[in-house]
Chain A
Amino acid sequence: MKPLLEIRNLRLRFHTLRGDLDALFGVNLKIYPGEVLALVGESGSGKTITALSILRLLDPTAEITDGEIIFEGKDLLKLSNDEIIDVRGKEISIIFQEPRSSLNPVMKVGDQLIESLMAHTKISRDEAYEIALKLLSRVGLPDPKRIMNSYPHELSGGMAQRVMIAMALILRPKLLIADEPTTALDVTIQAQILALIKELVREYGISVLFITHNLAVAAEIADRIAVMYAGNVVEVGYVDDIFEEPKHPYTIGLLRSIPKPGYEGELYSMKGEIPSLLKMPPGCHFHPRCPYTIEICKSKAPPMIKIDGNHEVACWLFMEGEV
């Protein structure tokens, strides 16, 4: 199966007052049609800037220094400004952690939905109103008429996030990028939103790139998981494989750090800290913290190595039969 979106060797650099800082070091990622891929990582992993790169929503101080992002045969990084604006919302949509961040605070919700529809498709205002109303109902909002007439600040976090999802899906994009969409929500609301996303994936056949730092959330929603650390993808695989047979020492460490129900002893914690962009270790970025470091790890960055089927790891331990 051909991937819907493929990121190849993405490298990104920030131009700051302190000099140039590399933040992405050759990210490779594939998203297939109809799947939910969770991009998991802690702070500084680069998961958010990877996602923002897809739609070219980065800060002007960020420069993509290498790589391609292939979507439906085109390299998104090479599109003109007008062309990428056309892609946003229509082919690829994005929702953020703070649901009210993408909503215009002085415009009614309904008007924003209608405007989005009318800007990209040739329909009348009344038709757009009906579509918007139906969509609000589909995303689980009771009393959609009232929501259409409300301002963003009048909505609760959960409701606003549903509106965001409606806005993101209204033009039937093929890919939805969700950047920590439930992190700011209460646990019970989060469960509702995750269930909603799963339903919509099934109904509309869209793909979702779901970014999160929470492995449990990834376990709930993902088909496949990609783990990122310090600007690299370190492991990719089906969700069951990642949880049952994690290969990369960072993935293993991360899974072991999560408190498990019923466990009473001391929690496992990886030694060391996430490196800052100013002091990135050479070779494999994880080597100073890795319990299994070998000589080559300290100087050369490992490539992605196929373990089996769809399970890949970026770790020298798995090179040429060395386990």
Chain B
Amino acid sequence: MSDLVRTEDLKKYFPVTKGLFSKVVGYVKAVDRVTLSIKKGETFGLVGESGSGKTTFGRTILRLIEPTSGRIYFENTDITNLKGKALRSIRRKMQIVFQDPYASLHPRKKVKDIVGEPLIVHNICKKNEVENYVKDILVKVGLDPKDIYKYPHEFSGGQRQRIAIARALILNPSFIVLDEPTSSLDVSVQARILNLLNSLKKKFGLTYLLITHDIAVVDYMSDRIGVMYLGRIIEIADKRELLNNPLHPYTKMLLSSVPVPDPKIAKSRKRMIPMGEIPSPLNPPPGCHFHPRCPYAMDICKRKVPHLINVGNLHEVACWLYEKK
């Protein structure tokens, strides 16, 4: 399988300023040298907690946030510095569905205008044809075509998310970033949206980057999973491999912390819950960011940053425990 999207050493640092003259006193290294490839046709699940940088990463590869350094490749084209028309034409192929369906739809626009706007922006069709395209895509996401004249507040959360998905799909993209697509939805609605996303993926041959903190969702949806902690990718593997055989201590603890909907297992299982707080991304610990909370921390962990190494079985981990000399 070829790479659809690839990043090399991607960095996004946000400057932190203080004082009257906005002096730069430090950086929040939201994305800190991430090299990742997402293969065509797969769902890549990116998991992490607050400060992991997963959301910033998703925005940056779409150029909604400008990278500080590094490269982004889409279908082998370097899109890192594209501007104007070239950038706009790439946008046709890469879209995003945001977490909050109450915030991502313009409250004063009708569905027809929200979902149809991409067509107008890219001059795909004439103004009087927009309606038909929109009706068509609404049906595909399970909505009633008669709804095109309604406003977002007339819909439930699940339906609004469908509208957002319709907007992302109408240009026929090949790649969609799903940023916590079901976190704001009720459980019963979530099931339907996940089913919809899967069927759309099959139908249209899409590739997904699924960003989420919900392990159950990433388990169900993904082919491969990457784990981020404080701006860095610390483990990548095929889904089953990662969930059954987590190597990085953080991944183990993360999976162990997830509550399971089964009281018998909940009572009996042995858990590894990390101590302490997630450090502030303003001042992350030196070396391996996880070392202060890691029960296996060695001296080298405090001094040197471990890099992702391949330990076989398409499994990569950034941890000194697995570094062979």
Contact = CB atoms under 8 A, between A and B. Distances in A.
Question: Do A and B touch directly, given a CB cutoff of 8 Å in the complex?
Answer: yes
Interface of A: 42-43, 142, 156-159, 186-192, 194-195, 213-217, 219-220, 222, 239-240, 243, 253-255, 257-263, 266-270, 273-274
A274 B194 CA distance: 18
B188 A191 contact: no
Contacts of A215: 187, 261
B278 interface: yes
30 contacts: A42-B188, A43-B186, A186-B50, A186-B278, A187-B49, A187-B257, A188-B257, A188-B273, A188-B278, A191-B273, A213-B187, A216-B258, A216-B259, A216-B260, A219-B260, A219-B266, A220-B263, A243-B261, A254-B188, A258-B187, A258-B216, A258-B261, A260-B216, A260-B261, A261-B216, A266-B198, A270-B188, A273-B158, A274-B186, A274-B188
A261 B194 contact: no
A74 B263 CA distance: 34
A259 B278 contact: no
A269 B191 contact: yes
Among B220, B256, B262, B280, max chain A CB count under 10 A is at B262
A194 to B, nearest CB: 7
A216 B263 CA distance: 8
Contact of B217 (A187, A220, A222, A259): A259
Nearest to A270: B188
A213 B191 CA distance: 14
Contacts of A219: 259-263, 266
B260 A159 contact: no
Among A255, A259, A266, max chain B CB count under 10 A is at A259
Contacts of B271: 191
Contacts of B213: 186-187
A47 to B, nearest CB: 12
Among A214, A260, A261, max chain B CB count under 10 A is at A261
A258 B186 CA distance: 11
B285 interface: no
Given A191-B273, A259-B194, A267-B220, 6 more contacts: A187-B215, A189-B49, A219-B260, A257-B188, A258-B216, A261-B219
Interface string B16-54: 000000000000000000000000000000000110000
B264 A187 contact: no
Contacts of B104: none
B41 to A, nearest CB: 16
Contacts of A258: 187, 191, 216, 261
Nearest to A225: B263
Given A194-B259, A243-B261, A273-B158, A188 B254 contact: yes
B260 A156 contact: no
A216 B254 contact: no
A43 B276 CA distance: 32
Interface string B264-284: 101000010111111010000
B277 A214 contact: no
- Nearest first, the 8 A-B pairs at minimum CB distance are A191-B257, A259-B220, A186-B49, A216-B259, A42-B186, A269-B191, A267-B191, A257-B191
Nearest to B273: A191
B220 A263 contact: yes
B158 A255 contact: no
B310 interface: no
B250 to A, nearest CB: 9
Contacts of B278: 156, 186, 188-189
Contacts of A216: 216, 258-261
Nearest to B213: A187
Interface string B175-192: 000000000001111111
Nearest to A186: B49
B52 to A, nearest CB: 9
